Amino acid sequence: MAIINFARREIIARVVYCGARGAGTTASVRKLYVDHTPDPSGGMLPFAPRGASEHSQVFEYHPADIEIPGFRFKVRLYSLPGALIHAGHRAEVLRDVDGIVFVANARPNEAEPNLDALLNLDRHLKKAGQDLANLPVVFQINHTDAADALSLDDVAFDLNPYRHPVILGSPVSGEGLAAVRDAVVKRIAALLADNLEGKPTCLQVHAIHRRESASIEQVVEAHQRAVRLAEAQATPAPAPRAAPWSRSGYDVLPLEHTVSLNYHPPSLAGMSPLQVLGARVHELTVVVDLIMADPEGNNPTRLHVHLVPEGDSPTPSSAARAPLPTLETDPMPTDSATLPMPIEDTWRLASYAVIGTISGIIVGLLTGFLIWA
């Protein structure tokens, strides 16, 4: 995506040299900078992700013989070596690219690496919404001086189905490098001129209005900052560790038992557990101390529930048994605190037990009298 700065009447395009490992991408950009760029702006700077052994190079220049009416035309040339495989860095360098120079190695054993590098480039471009078929692309064929080097047509046979220009170029001697660069830059300039006339092209432009132009140092810093930001966003934040006493630390455990209560006090009908105060195991009995309340949280009642093994407690007859609720117990820490029951609650439960026992005896005697009468 070329940048059009209307405040400075300036257009800046991006060209990226890329290829397989050892093809000569960075060497080509360096040779262009040293021998074929009479007026570079700000020097050539390397940049790369932390820990990388290879670096991209970038410099900016003004092609004096290529004009876009009404604007000063500048080009930023980047190298993207094949050995620099950091995905975030490659995506950032190729983002908004306006033209590609693909440097291919003419040695026979490099045919497959050439194709792999081109497919990798194609994937990155498609993720950014661009396509090799439409972009200005030039193939630079390197290492043609090798004894077993393939011809230009043989090298480009599998790489160039879209019939982009193919030019011989040597980063050692410098032969053909200026021709490769000028071929892709002229194509970009023609498309940008069409854009300014309102004609649809494959290139997009981004309009800004700034009195100052970014230096090459600022451009490199922006690239590195974008890569760091992308890495930070791609790294998932560690999940917060649940406190030992929090419910969330235990509710992921599988449910071990479902306990059916054989007796449900009528006074607790329609109520549900509000809070578990504690639990303890006494011999074969599990004692749960909890608060019951109605669905709206009103009328709280403290209750001790004794869970005993089946057969250890009397079971009411089926005729007298009401529909039984099911209590699903949440796993609790083994050392959870047990709150002592107040004395007045103990006396109240004892009195209920005595009254219940006497009532049961009376009901039993009356039932027996009626049966035998």
Question: Please, are residues 19 and 117 in contact by the beta-carbon 8 Å criterion?
Answer: yes
The pLDDT score that the predictor gives to residue 150 is 93
The pLDDT score that the predictor gives to residue 252 is 52
Mean pLDDT (whole number) for 196-222: 90
Query: Residue 211: helix, strand or coil by DSSP?
Result: coil
Q: How far is the C-alpha of 78 from the C-alpha of 100, rounded, in Å?
A: 10
The pLDDT score that the predictor gives to residue 40 is 73
Would you say residue 368 lies in a domain?
no
The pLDDT score that the predictor gives to residue 258 is 59
By residue count, the chain amounts to 373
The pLDDT score that the predictor gives to residue 309 is 67
136 plus 106 within the same structural domain: yes
Q: Which pLDDT tens digit goes with each residue over 40-57?
A: 777 899 999 888 889 999
Would you say residue 258 lies in a domain?
yes
Q: How far is the C-alpha of 285 from the C-alpha of 307, rounded, in Å?
A: 6
Cα of first residue to Cα of last residue in the chain, in angstroms, is: 105
What residue numbers bound the domain in which 148 lies? 2-234
pTM for the whole thing?
Answer: 0.63
CATH number for the domain spanning 195: value is 3.40.50.300
| HSE-CB for 2 with a 13 A CA cutoff | 32
Q: Which pLDDT tens digit goes with each residue over 111-152?
A: 999 999 999 999 999 998 999 999 999 999 999 988 899 999
160 plus 53 within the same structural domain: yes
Q: How far is the C-alpha of 326 from the C-alpha of 330, rounded, in Å?
A: 13
114 plus 179 within the same structural domain: yes
For the chain, where are the E strands, in sequence order?
2-5, 10-19, 40-47, 56-61, 72-80, 99-105, 137-142, 166-168, 205-208, 258-260, 272-282, 285-293, 301-307, 326-328
pLDDT-based confidence at residue 280 (cuts at 50, 70, 90):
confident
Could you give the percent of the chain with pLDDT greater than 90?
46
Instruction: Report the domain count for the chain.
Output: 2
pLDDT-based confidence at residue 368 (cuts at 50, 70, 90):
low
